[in-house]
C-alpha cells in the first residue's frame, strides 16, 4: 500500500540521554521538595527543531520516560500528549536566547519565599556571597545579582508578555521569579541549568535567613 502523504510523520524517538537527564533532574528536584504535587516543568532542545518537554499532569519527582514528550521549537505537540501548561514560557526563552538548550521551572520554597519576602521594586538582589560565582559571568563575591520578579497570572499570554518585558530590562539575568509561584532558570546544558537552580535555591535560603537574623534597618 502507498503511504498516505497527508498523514503526519511520526516523530523520531527522543535521544535516551535527554530523556534520562530530564527524569533524573525530576527525581532530584522531587527529593528536595522543589516540585510539589504536579508543579514544575522541564525541557531540553533536541537538534535544531524539537523540544523534549515534560507532559502536563505528572509528578515531576516521579517521572517515567513516557512522560517526556516532543514538541516543535514553537511548542506544538508532535505526539498525542498534552505539553506543560507553561510551554510558552519555555519557548520564549529558546527563541530569545539561541544558545539555551535547557530550561527548568520549579516551585522551590526558597524561590516562592524570596518573591514574598525579599522582592523590592519587582526584583530580588543578592550580593556579597561567594556562591554567586556559580552563576554565569560572575567571577567574584564582590558583586550583586538582580533577578526580575514578574506578577503571576493564569493567563499565559499576559505572563509571557510581562516576562518578555522583564527579559528586555534584565538581559543578563540567568533566571527570573514569578511572584508567589516559582523560578525559571536556563542554560547551555541541562547540567548548567540545574547548577544555576541549585545555587539560586541556596542563595535565596541564605538571604532569607540573613534578613531574619540581621534585619535591614
Ligand atoms: Zn509553575
The pLDDT tens digits for 129-178 are 999 999 999 999 999 999 999 999 999 999 999 999 999 999 999 999 99
Dist. CA 78 → ligand 1 center (Å): 23
Q: Tell me the per-residue pLDDT of 32-74, one tens digit each, with 9 for 90 and over.
A: 999 999 999 999 999 989 999 999 999 999 999 999 999 999 9
Q: How confident is residue 206, by pLDDT bands cut at 50, 70 and 90?
A: very high
Rounded Cα gap, residues 190 and 25, in angstroms: 9
Burial of 1 (0-12, 13-18, 19+ CB in 10 A): exposed
Dist. CA 40 → ligand 1 center (Å): 5
37 sits in the region (left: phi over 0; alpha: psi -120 to 50; else beta) called left
Beta bridge partners of 51: 45, 71
Dist. CA 159 → ligand 1 center (Å): 11
Dist. CA 178 → ligand 1 center (Å): 8
Dist. CA 213 → ligand 1 center (Å): 30
**Residue 25 pLDDT > 70, yes or no?**
yes
The reported pTM is: 0.93
**Residue 118 pLDDT > 80, yes or no?**
yes
Amino acid at each position: 500500500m502507498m503511504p498516505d502523504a497527508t498523514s503526519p510523520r511520526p516523530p523520531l524517538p527522543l535521544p535516551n540521554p535527554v530523556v534520562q537527564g530530564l527524569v533524573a533532574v525530576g527525581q532530584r528536584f522531587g527529593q528536595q521538595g522543589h516540585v510539589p504535587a504536579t508543579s514544575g516543568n522541564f525541557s531540553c532542545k533536541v537538534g535544531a527543531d524539537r523540544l523534549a518537554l515534560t507532559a502536563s499532569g505528572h509528578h515531576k519527582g516521579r517521572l517515567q520516560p513516557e512522560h517526556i514528550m516532543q514538541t516543535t521549537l514553537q511548542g506544538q505537540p508532535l505526539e498525542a500528549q498534552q505539553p506543560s501548561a507553561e510551554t510558552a514560557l519555555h519557548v520564549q526563552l529558546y527563541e530569545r536566547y539561541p544558545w539555551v538548550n535547557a530550561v527548568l521551572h520549579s516551585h522551590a520554597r526558597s524561590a516562592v519565599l524570596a518573591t514574598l519576602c525579599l522582592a523590592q521594586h519587582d526584583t530580588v538582589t543578592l550580593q556579597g556571597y561567594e556562591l554567586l560565582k556559580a552563576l554565569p559571568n560572575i567571577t567574584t563575591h564582590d558583586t550583586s545579582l538582580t533577578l526580575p520578579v514578574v506578577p503571576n497570572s493564569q493567563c499565559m499570554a499576559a505572563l509571557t508578555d510581562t516576562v518578555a518585558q522583564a527579559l528586555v530590562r534584565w538581559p543578563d539575568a540567568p533566571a527570573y521569579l514569578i511572584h508567589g509561584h516559582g523560578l525559571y532558570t536556563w542554560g547551555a546544558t541541562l547540567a548548567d541549568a540545574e547548577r544555576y537552580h541549585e545555587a539560586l535555591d541556596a542563595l535565596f535560603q541564605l538571604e532569607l535567613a540573613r534578613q531574619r537574623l540581621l534585619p535591614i534597618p
